Structures are given as C-alpha cells and as structure tokens.
A and B are shown apart, each in its own frame.
Chain A
Amino acid sequence: MISCKQSTRLISDAKERELQFKERFVLRLHMIICKPCQRFANQLDMLSSFAKSYAQEPESNHDTKHDTKHDPKKNT
C-alpha cells in the first residue's frame, strides 16, 4: 500500500508521463479508499486549468461573457 505522499507524487507525475502499469495499479487502489487524495487530484486538475486561463480577461468582471471554457478533466 502506498502512502498519501507517494500517491501525490504519482498524481503529479501522471501529468508528465504515462505511469507504468504497476504505478497505475497501486495509485488506483489507494485512490479508492483515500478521499483526501481524490481531492488532491481534483485540485491539481484545477491548478492546470487556472494556469491555462491565466491572463485571460482577469479584469473583466464587468462583462457578462461566458466564454471561459475550461474542462479540468481534459488534461493530457
């Protein structure tokens, strides 16, 4: 069983490289029972989408345009 710390590292690495079979396996097992790590994974996806939206109309809170689509799930 991997620790949460190891799991956070794998979650981050998964954004950079394809995890090996064994890594995927232990991570998945861990995630099933670990709610904090599930949240962590969601948060990293949100970080990615924040970074992508950086510098996109940050000052436009007066406008009512709804064009900032970002799908946190859609990370390669």
Chain B
Amino acid sequence: MSVANEKHTHSETSLYDSGFLLELRGKMLKFATLQLGDEQLAEDAVQEALAGALKNRKTFARQAALSTWMYAILKNKIADILRSRHRFTEASEVSREYLDEDDSAHLFDSRDHWANTSHPAYWSMPAEEVKNAQFWKIFEICLEGMSVKHARFFMMREFLELETTEICEATGVSVSNLNVILYRARMRLRECLELNWFKGDETR
C-alpha cells in the first residue's frame, strides 16, 4: 500500500513529480477496479481522469488539490459507467454470497440487545481530523478488510452517491438484498473503525 511513499506531502512539491502521480494513479486504479470489477474499464477511466486533470494542472497550487480534483473526475466517470451498465449485469453472481453470513451476532446478547462489551462508543472526531492521513489509512484498511463486494456497494452508495435504484440496475441486486448488503457493510466498517481508531483514542 501507499505507506512507503509519504515523502512529499509538502504543499508546493511539484505536481509534475512522477512519484506522486504514480502513487495517485495506483490508488485510483485500485479503487476504480473495485467499483467496476473490470481492469480494462478501470484503466480507461483512470487514464481519462488523469488526462483531464493534468490538462488543467496550472489551476492546482497543491498536490492535495490536484488529487481531490482527479478523484472528483474519476468519481463521475465511474458513476456514468455504472449507470449505463444494466446490460452487463451478473445477476447470478450476486444473490447468495452477500446474504449468507451474518457476522454481527457477536455484538448482541441472547435477546438481541447490545452485548455489554460491545456498546457503541462515543466517537469524537474534530472537524480537522477528517484530514488526518493516519485516519484514512485505517479507513482504507477497514474497507479492504470487508469482503470486496461489501466495500464495493458501500462506496457506490456513500462515496459515488448513486441512488439505490441505480445500484440495483447496474448490478442486478434486488432492493431488499441491497439493503441487507449495505447494512452488513455498515456494521463491519463501523465496528472496524471503532476498534481500530476510536477506541484506540487514548493510546494515540
């Protein structure tokens, strides 16, 4: 992962710096492949996003701004591709897999109330901390720790901000299955962040 390449986070380090661009490209490609499930399509989408953003790079004073911009382009591209995609539906692949395991059982007691040990904690997150690189590392690790499909649907819904109906059309999942998938995804991501970020609070 990108841990190794943290050398230049300073603002004005050149936007043309190939290390920075390569790393960004790698991250975007990974993300696009997750969403599209197709490396070639992902490659094309990332390429377009890079080209589009680089064309306007004079506008970006800082690498961070460039990266935000590229993701914004990529996000739209992926959303477009997914929207136009009904025909590629792999409905058969979809149904069973996500629905089988309910691994939140350990959070609840025999009456399905929160078990004593797993009461949700109070999450304190000052606004500036949303920019904390360490937090995003944990966030990504948690996403990667979920099943690929859970991560994919969660990000489709919450990052790409596709409508439920659009996701169902693009993927062939029924609305009720989608709701289950998103529920499970949220349960997992929530638990992972709680354990690895918010509860680790005191020790940070």
Contact B178 A16 (CB under 8 A): yes
One of B121, B132, B164, B186 near A47 (C-beta < 8 A)? B186
- Interface flags for B42-63 (1: CB within 8 Å of A; 0: not) read 0000000000000000000011
Minimal Cβ-Cβ distance residue in A for B128: A66
Contact A12 B186 (CB under 8 A): yes
Does A31 count as interface, using CB distance less than 8 angstroms? no
- A46 proximity list for chain B (CB < 8 A): 123, 125
Does B189 count as interface, using CB distance less than 8 angstroms? yes
A72 to chain B, nearest CB (A): 9
Minimal Cβ-Cβ distance residue in B for A57: B64
B161 to chain A, nearest CB (A): 7
Does B11 count as interface, using CB distance less than 8 angstroms? yes
Does B87 count as interface, using CB distance less than 8 angstroms? no
Minimal Cβ-Cβ distance residue in B for A72: B125
The interface size of chain A toward B, counting residues with CB under 8 Å, comes to: 39
Distance A52 CA – B68 CA, assembled complex (angstroms): 12
Distance A42 CA – B121 CA, assembled complex (angstroms): 10
- A13 proximity list for chain B (CB < 8 A): 179, 183
Q: Would you call the interface of chain B mostly helix, strand, loop, or mixed?
A: helix
Contact B159 A43 (CB under 8 A): no
- B71 proximity list for chain A (CB < 8 A): 55-56
Q: What band does the interface of chain B fall in when counting residues whose beta carbon is under 8 Å from A?
A: 35 or more
- B136 proximity list for chain A (CB < 8 A): 54, 58
Contact A48 B112 (CB under 8 A): no
- A62 proximity list for chain B (CB < 8 A): 9-11
B77 to chain A, nearest CB (A): 13
B107 to chain A, nearest CB (A): 8
Q: Which residues of A line the B interface, CB within 8 A? A: 3-6, 8-9, 12-13, 15-17, 36-37, 39-40, 42-44, 46-63, 66, 68, 70
Question: Could you list some 18 contacts between A and B, CB below 8 A?
Answer: A4-B113, A8-B104, A12-B182, A13-B183, A16-B179, A16-B182, A17-B179, A39-B121, A40-B120, A43-B190, A54-B136, A54-B139, A55-B31, A55-B67, A60-B131, A61-B131, A66-B127, A68-B131
